[in-house]
Structure 1
Amino acid sequence: MKEYSVTPNKNAEGWYVKIEDVAPTDLYSKKDDAIAEAEKLASNDTPSRLMILDENHEIVEEKKY
């Protein structure tokens, strides 16, 4: 099962979409845009899990596809 995550950058000025907690794929200025892209990637790669993290890098939402 692949794991995807949406996490803020160091200053919480942008949001990264990461695959398997490795190098980020892209930086998004809006959290909603990053979540939408991560949902698309995760749903196209089932089975997978998407974790959305807050500024403290704590999981606030988790979805499975």
Structure 2
Amino acid sequence: MKQYSVEPNKDVTGWFVKIEDTAPTDLYDEKSVAIEKAEQMAQENKPSKLSIQDEYKEVIEERTY
């Protein structure tokens, strides 16, 4: 199962989409856009899991596809 995550950058001015705890794939200005992109990637690569973090890097939601 592939693991995707949406997490803030160092100063919380953008949001990264990461795959399998590797280097971030993309940086987005808005959290909602990053979540949308991560959902799309997770759905295209089922089975997969998406973790969404808040600005304090705490997981606030997990989704399974």
* Range class of TM-score, shorter chain: over 0.9
Structure 2: which 5+ runs fail to align? Answer: none
- TM-score, normalised via structure 1 length: 0.97
Report the CA distance between 1:35 and its aligned residue. Answer: 0.2
Structure 1 Cα separation of the partners of residues 8 and 36 of structure 2: 15
**Residue 44, structure 1, aligned to residue 44, structure 2:** yes
Report the CA distance between 1:38 and its aligned residue. Answer: 0.0
Deviant stretches of 4+, over 6 Å: none
Residues 16-46 of structure 1, C-alpha deviations (whole Å, 9 max, x = no match): 0000011000000000000000000000000
Secondary structure at the residue paired with 2:36? helix
1:26 aligned residue: 26
Matched residue count: 65
Structure 2 Cα separation of the partners of residues 41 and 4 of structure 1: 8
Structure 1: which 5+ runs fail to align? Answer: none
Q: Once the two structures are aligned, what percentage of the paired residues are identical? A: 57
**Residue 6, structure 1, aligned to residue 2, structure 2:** no
Structure 1 Cα separation of the partners of residues 22 and 33 of structure 2: 20
